[in-house]
Structure 1
Amino acid sequence: MATRNLYLAYKRDTSQLLYWVIRTSNGIIKASKALPDLQDGDTAVNTTGHITVAGLVALCKLIARHISSVPPTILRLFSSVIKARTTVYNVFQQVVAENPDPETEKNNACHKHFIDALTEAFHILGGKNWKGDEFKNSNAADADAFIKVKDDLDRLVLENKFGALDLGRGGSVDDEAGESNDDGDADEKPQPDSSSAPRKRQQAKPGRGKGKRGKKPKKQQRPVTPKEQSLDDVPLESYRIIQDTDGIITDYLMAVYGIIREWLDLRAYLQGIWHECAYDGLNSAVCGTLSNLAVAMIQRTASTIFVDFPGHDNYETVMSTITRGNPEKAQGMFTIGLWRVGPSGESVDKVKETNVDVKEQFMIYTYQDLVDFVEDFQKNRSGKPTKRMSDELRNWDPNFNLQRATNEQRIRWRRSYTINWLYDLVNVFSAIVVQRNTMQGESHILEKVDWSPQGPWARHRRLFGLNEFAGFVTSLAMQKPGTDIRKRILPHHVFQLQCIVDSFMVARGWSISALKGHILADPARKFRPRRDVDLFLDRNNERFGTGFLQGVHILNQLLQRNGLLHHDPHRHQNLYLILESFRDDFRDWLGETKYMYGLKTIPPSRFSHCNPNGLWEYSPFLCGIGLAEALELAYLVGMKVWEELPEPMLLVHLHNMLVKKGYIRNPIGLYATLEELFGPAFFDGKPPTSHFDQALLERIRGRGRLATRRAAEGRREAATSHDVYRMLDVKLNRFFKMKSHLLLYRQSNWNVVAIPDADISLKSPLWMVRLATKVVVDPITGQRRLEDTDLVRRARAAGISDKDMLEMPPFHAVASPWQPPEALGAVLPELYGSLNLPSEFRPAAMPHAGGPRGNPNQQQLDGRNLLDVLKLDLIRDVCGEAPVSSLNYVFTTCLFMMLFGRFEDELKKRRNRLYIRAYETDSEWSLQKPAGLTLMALAGQDEECLRVMTDIFQNPRAGFMNHIYWKDLETTADWARRFLEKVEDDDVGTDACSVM
């Protein structure tokens, strides 16, 4: 998947360019017998992958003398590298113009020299006459298809080595190919030395004792010949241009500029997401998950970039570099422009340009608030602000009128909110350790406590969704007074705190636009950050059958009743304890905390004067990511319950038989939907149309003793774990193994590239994106085809043809499954900027309505584009068309058990013969009475039994929608229609993009 990060794209393109240049020039040098015109300095074969810029120019001259035509792909790489360098050079030229600085001028001079050398090499290879048109309408040679497969690079090297080279002036292709490989190693493997062959160990002669033996002379060791270094040992990413100190500094400036552009883009995107949550009802779990994914993107980008600059990865160093150590003087150095985009994606003309608010857009305010909080907390580590800070924070008003305030007043109000909220966060998170010290006399050294989610205190639930960030901030705050923690604060930490703050600011009507500055509107009416959390829990039992807490209460009663029916009161003890544990954790730490009722020795909430539960009530972000984790855990608990209890499996099979035999004319909504969502869990293949009892037996039959034993061992080990995700891992289940999308993202550590193909649902947006990576171009025919992978094979087995898959445009089809791609593809980047939040960093490559679509593989699905796709998957999973995470599995299980109880009561009253056999006379069913009754009913042995079951199934008919957590589900078509209407109100055209 391509990257839009400037530095990473530059680094990638440079490595690939050097790979071709070095290996191609090596091929020419090795053919020196046939090439008498080699010049001095051309004869050294490169075995390191490292080269100076002057050396690059020399090698390009060598290649130009012996290759008739350079592949367009290589020219595109050259152009891309030069463009990236030039972009950053121009930015810092403006910085020097606004704020003259000798060091920056020196770096810029070094940068200019580098660009000039690259341009010279580019022109030597024919770049002066290259216009880049080769790639605009080429499917077979598109840039990203080349980049994705290293074999294509090797193919280009070989084509140049044995095709374009004119080797007819002495020697032959066969001679040169047989003599050596690309790096000079012989093709023929050396024969092993006979002296090194293994020898038989001599047996001791009988009759000899352990007499004293003389010392044997030491064998002379044969000197080890060091292995000759080879390019085969150099990975692609290690090909690089060697630079002096000034060059490295210039590269660091590129890296810093690249990551700042990325966080500006993603911050603007997430403001739009939280705007949808507050003003348009988008489920906060979707917003929270997208926020986690964005934070992880920033973290991965920083980790990848700063591996080249060890010790310079913290936020303060990044910010000092970009602002030259003076944010005040940096104001006015950076501009952002809005450009109109032409039919082919090029920027046509500038619509608007404005200076970037450096302190706001570079998150300097938020960083300073975090540092000031930590330094203040450290002074006494009591959980209470110092007197000076307390005076600053006192009487913060959540209903402060932002529209009437000055900019300085708004910033002070936001600062008070941020620091107050951080105090509550740390006090809640650290409460368990602090109370152990103050109330139980323990002596935990606060600065040495492991506050991480993997630490010893992680088993005590204190928050949902934000434990890692809370642990990080707590670890900073608990250091000894005066400890400098600035070097530990990384860019993704500041970005995450900024997103937390922004989520509340947006709900209050205050958003930040790079183009428009501070945008103010009325606060979202009737919005409460806890809106969706309260629906999920339903603490007050306002809606029967939907709340998790109510479901646990009823199910545990049914489990106890079931145990008595089987004369075993401890029959479901394990499930009972798991359900109770989750009920207590959700009740005490999701949406509310015990903190609001007052915890002894813990200072009261900083929001006590307005709402003691302000930690949650004033944080849509915390509510969103907390709800997302709760939905994951509720799903895992549901799968655990369904794995342990027979009723879900039995009832779905009974429903299928009654429908297929015509007893039930129209499938019942709940069971039909479960068959669709969890088909592979209930059936081996498609639902059976006959031999229904055998189908159930085959499904529940063991997988073999060894597999069963291993699974049982895994479950026993997981049961002793304090990690709930390991304890409830669906991999340990026999039947219910499917993962929700929420769970997939967490297990991949919020990196969708790491999600295995086998876990991706067919026809989901993520599947469509992943499918695009399976398309390859046949080097002989030039035709596009699909790799034979698990993802492709599963699609074929589901009836999706290769033709359909190849014609499926990865971005457009995903982003717009409900209408023609051209219509919505043009406006998708603007959806999040509708109303008060214009799109600020729209990719210039996005085609506009009615224009040519070009090559779909050129769409760069990362950053906000990738989040757009994942958003559709999340809507479908959480509250949309494939609502795996929206169903209350606990209460649905209650329904199943009550339904089976009605079967039993009615059949018992009628003294039905199948009931008597299963529940009274046949000892083989003594431990599994419901299973016995179901198997005999599926065999069609009793008409009365089937009629009773049919009547009870349909009175009343169970609907899927009756047991979801929310009041309704939302389709992606509804979502698109709503936002298309709003785009019309935006004053930014849909064929515009913005560039910093």
Structure 2
Amino acid sequence: MAASNVYLAYKRDTSQLLYWIIRTSNGIIKSATTPKDGGAQMNTTGEITVANLVALSRLIAKHITAVPPAILRLFRAVINARTATHQAFQQIVAENPDPAIEKSNLTHKHFIDALTEAFHVLGGKDWRPDKATDSAQVDAEAFQLKDDLDRLVLSNPFGALDLGRTADDDADQEAEQSDDEIAENGPPGKGPGTAPKQRQQVKPGKGKKGKRGKKPKKQQPMPTKKSHLDDVPLESYRIIQDTEGLITDYLMAVYALVHEWIDLRTYLQGAWRECACDGLNTAIAGAVSSLAVAMIQRSAAEMFVDFPGHEAYETVMNTITRGDPSKAQGVFTMALHRMGPDGGAETVQVTAIDVREQFMIHTYRDLMDFVDDFRKTRSGKPTKRMLAEIRSWDPKFDLQRASNQDRIRWRRCYTINWLYDLVNVFSSIVVQRNTGKGEGHVLENVDWSPAGPWDDHRRLFGLNEFAGVITSLAMQKEGTDVRERILPHHVFQLQCIVDSLMVSRGWSISPLRGHMLNPPPRKFRPRRDVDLFLDRTHERTGHGFLQAVTVLKQLCDGDAKLHGDPKRHEDIEGVLEGLQYDFCNWLGESKYMYGLNSIPPSRFSDTNANGLWEYSPFLCGAGLMEGLELAYLAGMAVWERLSEPIVLIHLHNMLLKKGYLKKPVGFFASLEQLFAPAFFVGGKLPSSKFSDAFMARIRAATSKRKEWDTARKSAAQEHDLHRIMAVDANRFFNIKSALVLYRQYNWNLGVIPDADIPLHSPLFMLRVAQTKQTIDPITKERRLEDTDLIKRARAEGMTDDTILGMVSLAKRLGHPAPVPPDLPPSLLASLPGDNNTTTAGPFTHLPQIPTPTDRNSLRTNNNSTAPHLPSSLTARDHLEHAKADLLIDITGELRPLSSFNYIWAACTMMMLFSMIEDDLAARRNRLYVRAYETDREWSRAKRVGLGFLAMVEEDEECLTVMAEAFEKGRVGFLAHVYWRGLEGFGEYVDRREAGREGGIDGDACSVM
């Protein structure tokens, strides 16, 4: 997926442009038969100066009749990016004179002038991109541009050039080559991806002059040896700059990063508001927040790889504010625009943003003050000075009546108190070992990361990595400089943690409107969804995870006695007992609330000893997210080791097809749909030969035993519980939920393989929206590239028109749009809805760096025609698709893999089999007697034997008893869902729309 960060897009465009210029000029130089063109030298490094850029452009212009439009678009994109930054810096200097920025502006101007000159030399002055009005045409052209760039950049750049040569010229040149050269290198212009090899020129006065004939072997270039340039990766093509140029690039990177975190922060505030006001499950907001934090982390890492030692948050902040936030206030503004009837935009409002708020300076100062205070004693108790400031935090403080400064102070007290609790809980195991057992661990040297030795002792769910970073900072000796270790994504994550509570109390921060206050929702509790998931008090039999584990252990003990093997389910029980213990003690609440003698009490003890959780929607959401992942993995591990799931599903299908059941049992019918490939070969339910279908699935699993055993051994060596229980090690139940999938690929949607993306899902739509398209020159019809995902979709019967309809929908994210009639109903349930936050970038003076396509950042209200969105979607668009995907996974009706209690489902299946066994035993049914008493081959798998014999012999009495048991135990899928119900995506959108405020989301759009 293309980079959405504006600086990374600029950097990518520049590298592609230089690749073409250097490779093309090298081809021209190499093909020259006489020294000319100013003695231009071959480039073997991929690096050039600004002056060389202009010189090489002039060289190319002499030999090319027409530069490809894709290259001119790249030129225009890079120029626009530099120009936008230059204008931003000029504005800064106008508001607040700064010699450093003024000097940087001169560098900018010189760079822009050189780029513009090179652009004009290559024909850009008179070039105008085609203005297509049809949305489909624009989209196709965007993909065609991407295809052109790939072809131009990655193929032979010189072979496509028209140097005014004739066929006779080519024939003469080929004749000059020796037979050996042609045999080894191919004819001119037809080598594998390189410029045509030319006869080496002999310098005047050295050796014999040009003589045709065979060259000595020692002068032959080795065919397998590459030039130095062939070893230079695309991303290493760059313009060599002096110190001022590097500073300018760093400023561009900083501005792009700040823009990204402001935009994503605004989006996440909207997600947490949906949790508090509209009932969105907190696990969804927690997962979306994890995606956003990972985006900021990746963007910073990719940008600052060119600026080692300058990636810390404080360095970024000092750069953008020039070391003084007070002077920076008023420099950065945000504009609100309204769409006019003619499609144009008019400026409605321009507002200076709150620099300290939007740049997260308040939160960073709170974090640093906490770290400095904690390190003074490392006792887990605030110093007297800090205590005097934070001890009076009141969770019932009236935010609506308070001043801005009072609200900020209240938030600061909360932040520092919460951080104290976080570190005290997370470090408790080591502190206890030191104080209780005298182990003497050196706190500043402890590895607090999830990969460290103490991660075996669960203390927290959802925020382990973040807690490890903060604990490591707090445990350093006083005076140690830790500022360089605090990265932008750390501050961003803490900001989002704090925002989640603020939003739940009716207070949010808008880049445009500042402090926004609403009455806090009365019924929202951060632990709302965690409590439903666990059901600690056993109020809803069949739903909560904790009670399910207790019941399943009892059933497993009974099954072990039936088979005469006390250790039959030992591994299952061990995993479940450990998970049950951790959930009881560390998810939603912790031992901390009951008091641990070795560490100080909670900083919130005066109001709620469980304040770490009760006052943090973010922690509850992130913790529930991880809890659902582990519950799903544990459920799949249990199902993998039990025989009941696969046997009963096959029996249900047979009884239904043969008429013993008049209608499907909803519980089993739903499982057949959700896990069809796990139960049946190819996911196809048989209508006859049921025993053959059953054995075919068993054989398919057995045939891959070696592969699965390798995966299982690998998983057993892992330290992380998520990897220990990875579904990749399962032979039957290896389908991945969205939560499992996202974590497996480190919350990076772009690297998820096509094979793991479910068809018709929002993630499928997102991937398809970035798939290359081609246009038939005759029919003008569009066709998608044959990726693995597209091939899968076609194999399922989807046409290109249907799939392309999804592309259109994907780009109108947040706007109801007409739905093509041939889209499947399953897709309609998963369409992403409108988002309820500010819809574009936050302020005007950050550089708008376009990509090769002409990107339109405006969005309109639902009653107007939405402008076309680009094929390269923004980070916010990715989050919106992911949120829709997660909604379907966690609370939706379409594919609710993470919402289902697989442990309770296993209990239901085992109890159903017990009913069948009891009835057949009383009747002394012959199949029962064989499977349970006489046939020794079934002694270790009696229920498998009974099911298989029933499918093979189709004994009337046995099948009748089984059908009666299914009828008596008839239950629906919802009987084992953690929540109080599931919803279609349309219902979710309608419910959210009903609670939305009017304002800038209704009839306007904001742009930077």
TM-score (norm 2): 0.90
Residue number in structure 2 paired with 1:790: 788
Residue number in structure 2 paired with 1:380: 377
Partner SS state of residue 458, structure 1 = helix
Residue number in structure 1 paired with 2:349: 352
Residue number in structure 2 paired with 1:12: 12
What are the equivalent positions in structure 2 for 1:68-467 lying under 5 Å apart? Answer: 68-134=65-131, 138=137, 142-147=141-146, 151-154=150-153, 158=157, 161-168=159-166, 171-172=169-170, 175=173, 178-179=187-188, 186=197, 229-341=227-339, 348-467=345-464
Alpha carbons of 1:432 and 1:810: their partners in 2 closer, same or farther (altered >3 Å)? farther
Indicate the RMSD between aligned Cα atoms, in angstroms: 3.1
Q: Is the 8 A contact 1:396 1:417 kept in 2?
A: yes
Partner SS state of residue 939, structure 1 = helix
What are the equivalent positions in structure 2 for 1:771-920 lying under 5 Å apart? Answer: 771-777=768-774, 784-809=782-807, 811-812=809-810, 815=813, 820=818, 831-833=834-836, 841=842, 844-845=856-857, 848=860, 858-881=870-893, 882-920=895-933
> Aligned partners of 1:914 and 1:930: how far apart in 2?
11
Q: Is the 8 A contact 2:742 2:748 kept in 1?
A: yes
Alpha carbons of 1:702 and 1:142: their partners in 2 closer, same or farther (altered >3 Å)? closer
Matched, 1:558 2:551: no
> Aligned partners of 1:817 and 1:103: how far apart in 2?
44
Alpha carbons of 1:154 and 1:851: their partners in 2 closer, same or farther (altered >3 Å)? farther
Alpha carbons of 1:853 and 1:148: their partners in 2 closer, same or farther (altered >3 Å)? farther
> Aligned partners of 1:343 and 1:33: how far apart in 2?
61
Q: Is the 8 A contact 2:809 2:817 kept in 1?
A: no
**AA in 2 matched with 1:11:** K
> Aligned partners of 1:911 and 1:684: how far apart in 2?
34
**AA in 2 matched with 1:4:** S
Q: Which one is further off, 772-781 or 783-792? A: 772-781
Matched, 1:969 2:982: yes
Residue number in structure 1 paired with 2:603: 606
Q: Is the 8 A contact 1:49 1:234 kept in 2?
A: yes
Residue number in structure 1 paired with 2:180: none
Q: Which one is further off, 99-108 or 738-747? A: 99-108
Q: 1:23: Cα distance to partner?
A: 2.3
Q: 1:787: Cα distance to partner?
A: 3.7
Alpha carbons of 1:33 and 1:854: their partners in 2 closer, same or farther (altered >3 Å)? farther
Q: 1:237: Cα distance to partner?
A: 1.3
> Aligned partners of 1:717 and 1:166: how far apart in 2?
61
* Uncovered stretches (5+) of structure 1, i.e. residues with no partner: 196-223
> Aligned partners of 1:185 and 1:48: how far apart in 2?
19
Identity of counterpart residues, as a percentage? 57
Partner SS state of residue 607, structure 1 = coil
* Uncovered stretches (5+) of structure 2, i.e. residues with no partner: 175-185, 201-213, 822-826, 844-854
> Aligned partners of 2:841 and 2:195: how far apart in 1?
52
Residue number in structure 2 paired with 1:217: none
Q: Is the 8 A contact 1:268 1:840 kept in 2?
A: no
Alpha carbons of 1:802 and 1:714: their partners in 2 closer, same or farther (altered >3 Å)? same
Residue number in structure 2 paired with 1:203: none
Alpha carbons of 1:683 and 1:226: their partners in 2 closer, same or farther (altered >3 Å)? closer
Matched, 1:477 2:474: yes
> Aligned partners of 1:636 and 1:128: how far apart in 2?
60
Q: Is the 8 A contact 1:140 1:783 kept in 2?
A: no
> Aligned partners of 1:704 and 1:304: how far apart in 2?
44
> Aligned partners of 1:351 and 1:818: how far apart in 2?
25
Residue number in structure 1 paired with 2:183: none
Q: 1:898: Cα distance to partner?
A: 0.4
Q: Is the 8 A contact 1:832 1:839 kept in 2?
A: no
**AA in 2 matched with 1:759:** D
1:882-928 C-alpha deviation (Å, 9 max, x unpaired): 10000000001000000000001111122222212221222222211
Q: 1:92: Cα distance to partner?
A: 1.4
Q: 1:161: Cα distance to partner?
A: 4.9
> Aligned partners of 2:962 and 2:651: how far apart in 1?
9
Q: Is the 8 A contact 1:369 1:419 kept in 2?
A: yes
**AA in 1 matched with 2:291:** L
From 690, 696, 711, the equivalent of 1:692 is 690
Q: 1:832: Cα distance to partner?
A: 3.2
Residue number in structure 2 paired with 1:209: none
Alpha carbons of 1:119 and 1:597: their partners in 2 closer, same or farther (altered >3 Å)? same
Q: Is the 8 A contact 1:339 1:994 kept in 2?
A: yes
From 530, 535, 555, the equivalent of 2:532 is 535
Residue number in structure 1 paired with 2:1000: 988
Partner SS state of residue 512, structure 1 = strand
Q: 1:436: Cα distance to partner?
A: 0.2
Q: Which one is further off, 494-503 or 786-795? A: 786-795
**AA in 2 matched with 1:340:** R
> Aligned partners of 2:342 and 2:753: how far apart in 1?
35
Residue number in structure 2 paired with 1:757: 754
1:240-268 C-alpha deviation (Å, 9 max, x unpaired): 11111111111111000000000000000
Q: Is the 8 A contact 1:775 1:806 kept in 2?
A: no
Q: Is the 8 A contact 1:748 1:755 kept in 2?
A: yes
Q: 1:860: Cα distance to partner?
A: 2.7
> Aligned partners of 2:686 and 2:812: how far apart in 1?
33
From 514, 517, 524, the equivalent of 1:520 is 517
From 540, 554, 571, the equivalent of 1:574 is 571
1:737-775 C-alpha deviation (Å, 9 max, x unpaired): 111000010000010112111111111111222234443
Residue number in structure 2 paired with 1:221: none
Q: Which one is further off, 883-892 or 841-850? A: 841-850
> Aligned partners of 1:586 and 1:289: how far apart in 2?
19
> Aligned partners of 1:227 and 1:701: how far apart in 2?
50
Q: 1:847: Cα distance to partner?
A: 6.0
Alpha carbons of 1:192 and 1:363: their partners in 2 closer, same or farther (altered >3 Å)? farther
Tell me the number of residue pairs that the alignment of Structure 1 and Structure 2 aligns. Answer: 957
What are the equivalent positions in structure 2 for 1:700-715 lying under 5 Å apart? Answer: 700-701=698-699, 703=701, 707-709=704-706, 711-712=708-709, 714-715=711-712
> Aligned partners of 2:987 and 2:17: how far apart in 1?
46
Matched, 1:929 2:942: yes
> Aligned partners of 2:172 and 2:251: how far apart in 1?
48
Q: Is the 8 A contact 1:880 1:969 kept in 2?
A: yes
Alpha carbons of 1:281 and 1:415: their partners in 2 closer, same or farther (altered >3 Å)? same
Alpha carbons of 1:717 and 1:165: their partners in 2 closer, same or farther (altered >3 Å)? closer
Q: Which one is further off, 934-943 or 771-780? A: 771-780
> Aligned partners of 1:193 and 1:950: how far apart in 2?
88
> Aligned partners of 2:638 and 2:716: how far apart in 1?
14
**AA in 1 matched with 2:582:** D
> Aligned partners of 1:163 and 1:718: how far apart in 2?
53
**AA in 2 matched with 1:653:** H
Alpha carbons of 1:239 and 1:326: their partners in 2 closer, same or farther (altered >3 Å)? same
Q: Which one is further off, 521-530 or 110-119? A: 110-119
Q: Which one is further off, 362-371 or 771-780? A: 771-780
> Aligned partners of 1:257 and 1:373: how far apart in 2?
27
> Aligned partners of 1:817 and 1:904: how far apart in 2?
55
> Aligned partners of 2:971 and 2:930: how far apart in 1?
29
Residue number in structure 2 paired with 1:202: none
Partner SS state of residue 664, structure 2 = coil
Partner SS state of residue 734, structure 1 = coil
Q: 1:958: Cα distance to partner?
A: 1.1
Partner SS state of residue 783, structure 2 = strand
Matched, 1:957 2:970: yes
Q: Is the 8 A contact 1:846 1:859 kept in 2?
A: no
